[in-house]
Amino acid sequence: MQAISQMRVKGSMPPLNEGAMAMEVHAYLPRPKTLPKRVTHHTRRPDADNIAKGCKDALKGVVYRDDSQIIDLHVSKEYGDPPRVVIELREIENA
């Protein structure tokens, strides 16, 4: 729903992308209050690949025809406030 609303802000809904795409997913997850400050990496659930799969599935039929079009994928997860997921997509020319 967020992707659709962001696309509508820019005018009208563009056609679905049919070419190869690159995706970056940055997940910012809440830091437990009991976690020591020395722990800097989020090594608990959810798994990074599960976060990416959910994002790819959510954008299927909204931004691109099929998630198999994602040929370059980078996923990171870290502690952040407010908790959120930031997705960056770009077309890959001549792929």
Q: Is the pLDDT of residue 95 over 60?
A: no
For residues 60-79, average pLDDT: 95
In angstroms, the Cα distances linking 95 to 69, 74, 91 are 10, 18, 9
pLDDT higher for 57 or 94? 57
The per-residue pLDDT of the chain, averaged, comes to 90
Q: What is the pTM of this model?
A: 0.84
CA angle 26, 44, 85 (to 5 degrees): 20
Per-residue pLDDT for 21 more than 80?
yes
Q: Report the pLDDT value the prediction gives residue 82, as an integer from 0 to 100.
A: 96
| Residue 9 pLDDT class (50, 70, 90 cuts) | low
Ordered structural domains, the chain, with CATH: 2-9+20-91 (3.30.1330.70)
> With pLDDT > 70 as the criterion, what percentage of the chain qualifies?
87
User: What is the reported pLDDT for 93?
Assistant: 87
